[in-house]
Structure 1
Amino acid sequence: MNVEISHPIGPWRRLSAAAALAACVLSASCAAQAGTASAPAQTSAGVNTSVPPKVPQSGLTKGLALPLEAYMLNYADELVIERAEHRLTAECMRKLGFTYQPPAVGTTPQESSNDSNMPRRYGISDLELSAKYGYHPQSAVDPHPDRSVVPISPAERAALLGTGAPGKSSGGCIAESRQKLQISYGTKASELSKTSLDTSLETNEVKSAMQRWSDCMKNRGYSYTDVYAPLAQFNSSANQGVNQAEIQTTTADIECKSQVRLIEVWFATETVIQQRLIEQNQLVLAKEQETIAQEIRNSSAVR
């Protein structure tokens, strides 16, 4: 199968969250006021703040966890670290004479506990979820929090980010809080996870199973060469809502995956690949794992 496949793994969530916070500050849209209290941002009714399970509890990926997931930060612990970072940042800003209200934590629905993205790693896999969301991620369909905030001044922005050009700032309350927590944003496990998925797509086992899935879909009236093609089609800018045609496609998609045992074959193949990658990168993975554990310990101590 000589096609270029675009899959939903990466960029890494922790780095994306950090970049989002920096963008918030640089655009002067985070809540902070000198000498006066700013009101906490209120979340909209119905916003999903649930924490996804470490292992999928439904669908074709139920109970599946790849070896590299043991080295990744899970979403629940990620929230512990983010909350601690925000508390320390707010405390630092208060000492400088500002009242800072950081962005709300945990208000963006997550389908996966970590960067492995198991529920959607091999395309959609859960009939119940697809009946509601189609190919769209939950975050594109569920209500979003109210992100209305108070603009901040250049002085407040400097206090948060420090001085210097963006990306080269020295000091600042955000940097100070991350230093106290020893946050490193290690991504080796996530990088290897992407590598293993790319590698698995080139194996005869996965190519054969993917072709059987494609043939099954063709028999139902759909023409797709890989499981990521419908994801891209229905998540394009031209498809803003979930419609009946999309729901019908997801049903055929998942039923064909089950019929040809695509995910079962793919998961087994990638497990072997990841075990080999872990053996080749054991030292750096173990170091990153301990670094994450230390971040969690440091963050849990913040009150």
Structure 2
Amino acid sequence: MAKGLTLPLDEYATSSVDAYAWKVAVQDQWRSCMARYGFSDFGPPQISEQSAVMQADSAMGRRYGVSDLDLAKKFGYHLPTGTQESPYWEPAAGAESTVFTGVGAGVDDGTYEGKALPEGGCRGEAQRMFPMPRTPEAERAGITVFEETRKSPEVVKAVAQWVSCMKQKGYVRSHPLEDLGKLGLSPSSPSAGSEEIAHAVADVECKADSELVGIWNAKEKAGQQKAIKENASSLAKEKSVKDRNSAKVRQAYEAAGNQ
């Protein structure tokens, strides 16, 4: 099972808690700014910290495809209840969107109804105050290592064993990360049916039989450790900037009465 596993580059990534705090700080700043222009009820529905952490855990848990037998038995290939993304949101068309983005009817030489607008509107103001605590070089390194390990002899062999196991169970599959939609197993449908659940359970059982998750994770760990050594200086600088931005966000988050 992949849930709970860690990777060396995790140290350079933004934690799920910090990512949530950043989202809250940015949205609070949106609301504060928009209120200055008369929009007192503004912003998307907030996601709870628990849901944000669950989403991050779910992402790691499916890094190599579904791997939790209990969840497969309940939800098939669907995300567990409570981990779905928040509904898509955008500001209302017209004046609200204009003040939020700084572009649109009513904006005259950087002002709106005689009051100066921040560059890029309230969205731009929040972006400057709270840069997203990201580490793009570490992210690129992680993607590169993932793709390299996907092609490694050890992982290819484990995948072949998984394919063989799935065939024995009556499922023709080519790879655990292939497009589920093309297989008629779209996780975007309302819920999992019995056929999908049976398929997902077989998937997880075959991953256990082939030891695919453990083999792939071990190769990724080795590859990421190598990448960190080769890019130690630049990764350390990037992490330092990310940590400062995270600290600023966390301070604003706690100052707003969140814990």
Q: TM-score range by the shorter chain?
A: 0.7 to 0.9
Cα deviation per residue 1:228-253 (whole Å; 9 max; x = unaligned)?
23734244389553111111111111
Residue in structure 2 matched with residue 159 of structure 1 by the alignment: 99
1:251 maps onto 2:201 in alignment: yes
Residue in structure 1 matched with residue 56 of structure 2 by the alignment: 113
For 1:286 and 1:259, how far apart are their aligned partners in 2?
A: 39
Distance change >3 Å, CA 192–CA 100, structure 1 → 2: farther
Residue in structure 1 matched with residue 10 of structure 2 by the alignment: 69
Residue in structure 1 matched with residue 33 of structure 2 by the alignment: 92
Q: Shift of the alpha carbon at 1:119? A: 0.4
Residue in structure 2 matched with residue 197 of structure 1 by the alignment: 146
Q: Shift of the alpha carbon at 1:94? A: 1.8
Unpaired runs of 5+ in structure 2? 105-117
Distance change >3 Å, CA 147–CA 207, structure 1 → 2: closer
Q: Is the 8 A contact 2:162 2:212 kept in 1?
A: yes
Q: Shift of the alpha carbon at 1:177? A: 1.6
Q: Shift of the alpha carbon at 1:156? A: 2.5
Residue in structure 1 matched with residue 128 of structure 2 by the alignment: 179
Q: Shift of the alpha carbon at 1:260? A: 1.6
Calculate percent identity across the aligned residue pairs: 29
Q: Is the 8 A contact 1:110 1:138 kept in 2?
A: no
Q: How do residues 284-299 of structure 1 correspond to structure 2 at under 5 angstroms?
A: 284-299=234-249
Aligned residues: 237
Q: TM-score, normalised by structure 2?
A: 0.79
For 1:223 and 1:244, how far apart are their aligned partners in 2?
A: 18
Q: For residue 96 of structure 1, what is the amino acid of its counterpart?
A: Y
1:262 maps onto 2:212 in alignment: yes
Q: Which has the higher helix share?
A: 2
For 2:208 and 2:76, how far apart are their aligned partners in 1?
A: 17
Distance change >3 Å, CA 257–CA 71, structure 1 → 2: same
For 1:110 and 1:297, how far apart are their aligned partners in 2?
A: 18
Q: For residue 137 of structure 1, what is the amino acid of its counterpart?
A: L
Q: Is the 8 A contact 2:158 2:215 kept in 1?
A: yes
Q: Is the 8 A contact 1:112 1:119 kept in 2?
A: no
Q: Shift of the alpha carbon at 1:192? A: 2.1
Q: TM-score, normalised by structure 1?
A: 0.69
For 1:162 and 1:73, how far apart are their aligned partners in 2?
A: 29
1:134 maps onto 2:76 in alignment: yes
Q: Shift of the alpha carbon at 1:74? A: 1.8
